A and B are shown apart, each in its own frame.
Chain A
Amino acid sequence: DIQMTQSPSTLSASVGDRVTITCRASQSVSNWLAWYQQKPGKAPKLLIYKASSLESGVPSRFSGSGSGTEFTLTISSLQPDDFATYYCQQYDTYSYTFGQGTKLEIK
């Protein structure tokens, strides 16, 4: 199975900061990579699909890039609502593996 590794596991930042989360795949997933945001006690929410396509209704401060084995999620200017846990997920193969998550905390 394809393994997905996110870094960092925890990130402390302030409102207004630009932050980047990295996701690495153990083998190429082309651009079949999605990013989700999850808040405590809630279901995940899709942010980005196909590595860089913004889901409808998601603010444009979120962006994704990458292909093959290395991907990034960038939040251009953190807002209070953005403090949450973020997951990447590959869907290149029928195993749909998630990364372990990155918790974005308020500094």
Chain B
Amino acid sequence: QVQLVESGGGVVQPGRSLRLSCAASGFTFSSYAMHWVRQAPGKGLEWVAIISSDGSKKYYADSVKGRITISRDDSKNTVYLQMNSLRAEDTAVYYCARGQYGGVTTVWGQGTLVTVSS
């Protein structure tokens, strides 16, 4: 079945880096754009980044621009989120999601929790 599984979350100190991974299965990964969306504890959803199906286009939320990089490896059916210079406000559950219909997200992973704390 169609599935997305995130990994790589954990506790990290402010200023450090972390890379999240999202493994896809059950669909033709290379045909879809992929998103990352985050949700701080008890808060709403915040879109973070998108990468196009061919990897040529990447867009970011202003709140993470310059600190976060999205990438994909179609040979591994995996999308990544490299997060640098982490701040306390980056603490959240990070979801990867499949893009469809021109920009919405139709399939989501279960999320991985990132906690930025000293």
Contacts and interface: CB of A to CB of B under 8 A. Distances in A.
Given A43-B95, A50-B101, A96 B109 contact: no
A97 B97 CA distance: 15
A101 B95 CA distance: 17
A101 B104 contact: no
B103 to A, nearest CB: 3
Interface string B41-82: 000111100100000000101100000000000000000000
Nearest to B59: A94
A50 B104 CA distance: 9
Contacts of B45: 36, 38, 44, 87, 89, 98, 101
Nearest to B95: A43
Contacts of B95: 43-44
Interface band, chain A: 20 to 34
A23 to B, nearest CB: 13
Interface residues of B, number: 22
Interface string A84-107: 000101010011111111000000
B110 A43 contact: yes
A55 interface: yes
Given A32-B102, A50-B101, 7 more contacts: A43-B95, A44-B37, A44-B45, A49-B104, A96-B103, A98-B44, A98-B45
Interface of A: 1, 32, 34, 36, 38, 43-46, 49-50, 53, 55, 87, 89, 91, 94-101
Q: Which 3 A-B pairs have the closest CB atoms?
A: A91-B103, A43-B108, A94-B59
